[in-house]
Structure 1
């Protein structure tokens, strides 16, 4: 099902009545931005000189924040979003640069890579009411 956009009169996929989900051209730009962020994370990682096997070994670490949902959707969304938005990996990168600590730099670079690829695949910032509802789309079943 598609709905007509009131300003551009173009159609965009329906989001099952969920408000706050980006569609259309802004979604395309946010996905392109995600690709750029992922590329930046890879470029920063390449500059560390660390072994490339660290990327697959650490790539899913931000997803461990999912366990915060065991404390409820509000706390879960807050912790998950902290691990899946730019401030945390950027802080790790700054700390790594400031303290000349390659482990922190690697963590920040892999965090940016993870964040960028999530955005590219339409996994966005979570709302408090449902794990599957993000600003970039609805995934799975939601309330």
Structure 2
């Protein structure tokens, strides 16, 4: 399956599996957060912070995709979690868990990593208006 502008996207069973994986990631990261002892208001306050990356779309689709992907890849929270473990800082681990939970939530909903052709073109297939049009 291809998205708009022939952006490659996964389809069929693998797409279902990747979305299910996102759901499991969301649940596991939320459970991990609960083990840190951090207050739940922190989870609620920070859960959608990675979505500030949407603002980069004001500078164009390429800038938006770069910013979105930077905040919706597991690389950032993995590095943050490693720092939290190394420094023995549970607060940092809590933030990393929230970040991973957000990524899992988005992937479960079908919001994959973005292509520079537009917000609706993702590795999990088209989203938004592009999903309706395809």
Question: TM-score normalised by the shorter chain: which range applies?
Answer: 0.7 to 0.9
Q: CA deviation at 1:137?
A: 2.2
* Displacement over 3 Å in runs of 4+: 14-19
More helix by share: 2
- TM-score, with length taken from structure 2: 0.87
Task: Tell me which of the two structures has the higher relative contact order, counting C-alpha pairs closer than 8 angstroms and 6 or more residues apart.
Answer: 2
- TM-score, with length taken from structure 1: 0.82
Pick from 20, 38, 62 the counterpart of residue 74 of structure 1.
62
Structural RMSD (CA): 1.9
CA distance in 2, matches of 1:51, 1:107: 11
CA distance in 2, matches of 1:41, 1:16: 32
Give the equivalent residue in structure 2 for 1:9.
none
Pick from 41, 49, 52 the counterpart of residue 37 of structure 2.
49
Unmatched runs of 5 consecutive residues or more in structure 2: none
Structure with greater Cα Rg: 1
Give the equivalent residue in structure 2 for 1:124.
112
